[in-house]
Amino acid sequence: MVDHAADAFGETGTGSDLIEAGRRLFAAECRFVYAAQRLDQLPTPVGPEVAFAGRSNVGKSSLLNALTGRRALARVSAEPGRTRQLNFFDLGGRLILVDMPGYGYARAGRAVKQDWQGLMFDYLRGRPELRRVMLLLDARIEVKQADRAVMELLDRAAVTFQLMLTKIDGIKAGDLADKQAETRALARAHAAAHPHVLITSSETSEGIAELRAALAELAEA
């Protein structure tokens, strides 16, 4: 069996200290603090923020639940377009996690879409407290034009983003290795991208400890 957890940290490796720091961070209580529907409703920043972005249905809300070990902290749905606001969660007063609405959902009405996707882009471009955008890509499917557009936007805005492959329970080990190599190349092609690609499954919890470790590096001490 391939050790995906070791793979996830590739060349850099994750020490057990960081894994422990991640475990401790996520042992704290995580509570919902705010949902913003418009830019002028954004909560006053209280500390570092990390946003989870990606196409509709990629698994952003599921990942938040897996990270925090709460089944229904963030609302999940098989139907794309579930999350329509920016949802802010406070993790032990050390890090704000932001569940974002998905982009690239073709069937949403144009007005609605402009509304919530416009909000997403405005937030990504203009939030000084935003430490990193975790940009989720479904390991089972191709990178789409909408993903490329967001990566370009983040490059232009100089907002650091980290690519993550989700739903790795749905892909064979060999295909996953190819996909990881491809995704690392994609990261290298973007100025604002973190070189390290994370892999996760919210179903099996694979890669979740490593993701917690990566987030612990961004949290308030």
Tell the residue number behind the tokens 């949802």, with chain if given: 87
CB 17 within 8 A of CB 114: no
User: Where on the chain is the footprint of ligand GTP (CB under 6 A)?
Assistant: 54, 56-62, 76-78, 80-83, 101-102, 166-167, 169-170, 201-203
Compute the least distance from the CB of residue 36 to Mg ion, in Å. 15
Q: What, of ligand GTP, Mg ion, none, does residue 80 touch, CB below 5 to 8 Å by kind?
A: ligand GTP
User: Where on the chain is the footprint of Mg ion (CB under 5 A)?
Assistant: 60-61, 82-83
Residue 35, SS3 per DSSP: strand
Compute the least distance from the CB of residue 156 to Mg ion, in Å. 25
Compute the least distance from the CB of residue 138 to ligand GTP, in Å. 9
The torsion angle over the Cα atoms of residues 64, 138, 169 and 97, rounded to 10 degrees, is: -10
* Separation of CA 183 from chain center: 15
Beta strands in 79-146 (DSSP E): 86-91, 95-99, 130-138
**Residue least distant from ligand GTP (Cβ):** 102
Compute the least distance from the CB of residue 4 to ligand GTP, in Å. 12
Residue 86, SS3 per DSSP: strand
Which residue's CB is nearer to ligand GTP, number 21 or number 197?
197
